[in-house]
Amino acid sequence: MTNEEFNNILGIKESYEMPERLMEILTGESVREFYEKMLTMDIDLSKDVLRDYFQEEHGDRGKLKQDYTPDCVCELVRRLSGDAEDTLDICAGTGALSIACKPGGFHRAEEVSTRALPVLLLNFGIRGYCGEVALRDVLTGKTESIYEMQPCGEFTRPVLKPEGAPRKWKRIVSNPPYSLKFQDVDKVADDPRFSFGLTPSGFSDYLFIQDGISRLDDDGTLVEILPHGVLFRGKKEEAIRKNLIDANLIDAVIGLPENLFLNTGIPVLIMILKKNRDREDVLMVDASREFIKCGKTNIMTEEQVDRVASVVNLRMDVDKLSHVATREEIQENGYNLNIPRYVDTFEPEPVPDLLETLAELKAINMEIDKTERELIAMATQLVGTTPEAQEIVDKANEFYKEYLNEKNHRSNIATAGNDRESQEREVLPRKGDADRIIRNQGSGQISFF
């Protein structure tokens, strides 16, 4: 379905009208007819078909750092997050992760953007998902509104409801905005969600992580998509990272390829966190080379996703791919979790073929000699139009003659002992060549100014 086709279904001329118009339809009486009309477009309900539309027309890369999750990463998150029926999707965007997790039980999705919220509701409703969708700011903890997805034939429709009692979740997935600034971070200093420490105002990543941990069930799994900076940045973030490691919450770190996202080329990682773990190591995986090119972006194939998921589930060392890092190793690295410290992916350069290298060197020298001969031939045709210009021409020619003769002299020393036949085949100019070239030039002249 193209952007134009979706706008036509909504009855709008410009895409900026979409959020308000879509919200009117979803909360109105004709919502079921709207769903049915959309299904005539033969859309693929197995993925978020409106993600690219929203990113192209409404995404806020600058202020909200909106980078919506590509399909291959959604599938990998689904494989790594377990199979719990009840799922919480924090910073859900338009719902790609929620769709990938195929909610069969109660599902809650939260999003801060009022422009993304209608698309998120649409994705829930047209698939008949139960549960609720909340307009919530993770950093402040404030919830503006909650919509319960109520049955509407084979679909569901959003109906406003009051916030219920907080609950814990067995599966939480999240793709929060990367390194979002939060100038009011000191105002949440007493928030019990952030007991592992406050972040600097320029990097809120660990606040999103801690919000997820605070809502995780004792035997639940939290899977976060994050920038690599969380692994090695210092000061406040280093203190939080140390606290999380000492609390034995970080289970695995998986580095992904670059250029997977539509609007940013930065490589990201998946961090898996669990409570009450029965082991104290951390699995480190470098999957940065598990991709194929697809136009301007990269994608992970089904086989590559399966390979990475298998390594994580088996939790084993694989050469140049994964390593199970002990607590002692991590402490020796100063609680730095940068993946190259634990997974060596270095590939030595192949030793070049000696004969091939010498042949290339010979060809280069022959080309240099040819160019030098052509240059001196052209230089001898230059004629100054004034005495001063002619003096410059003469000095230039004399300089070049000396250069060639010195070069030839060095060559003669290096090749001393060769027989006469080999000397005649010598590529480099012989002593006196420069004089002969200058004497034997034609009478053509090129004016020199």
Regarding pTM above 0.85, the answer is: no
Pairing of strands 216-227, 250-255: unpaired
Please say whether the beta carbons of 172 and 216 come within 8 A. Answer: yes
Length of the chain: 449
- Report, as an integer, the average pLDDT of 60-84: 78
Looking at per-residue confidence, does 66 or 342 come out higher? 342
**DSSP code at position 383:** E
Which pLDDT tens digit goes with each residue over 392-434?
Answer: 878 888 887 787 777 777 767 766 655 555 554 444 444 444 4
On the question of pLDDT at 211 being above 80, the answer is yes
On the question of pLDDT at 325 being above 80, the answer is yes
Q: Name the band, by pLDDT with cuts 50, 70 and 90, for residue 440.
A: very low
What confidence score (pLDDT) does residue 415 get? 62
CATH number assigned to the domain covering 3-341:
3.40.50.150
Q: For residue 421, give both structure tokens.
A: 């036949």
- Report, as an integer, the average pLDDT of 116-142: 95
Q: Give the chain's mean pLDDT.
A: 87
Which pLDDT tens digit goes with each residue over 280-297?
Answer: 999 999 999 999 999 889
Q: Name the band, by pLDDT with cuts 50, 70 and 90, for residue 143.
A: very high
Instruction: Tell me how far apart the alpha carbons of residues 162 and 145 are, in angstroms, rounded to a whole number.
Output: 8
Q: Name the band, by pLDDT with cuts 50, 70 and 90, for residue 233.
A: very high
The CA distances from residue 446 to 371, 380, 391, 435, in Å, are 19, 9, 15, 20
Give percent of the chain above pLDDT 70: 88
Between helices 3-10 and 18-26, what is the axis angle to 10°? 50
Q: For residue 343, give both structure tokens.
A: 């997974």
Please say whether the beta carbons of 325 and 340 come within 8 A. Answer: no
- Report, as an integer, the average pLDDT of 303-324: 96
- Report, as an integer, the average pLDDT of 81-96: 93
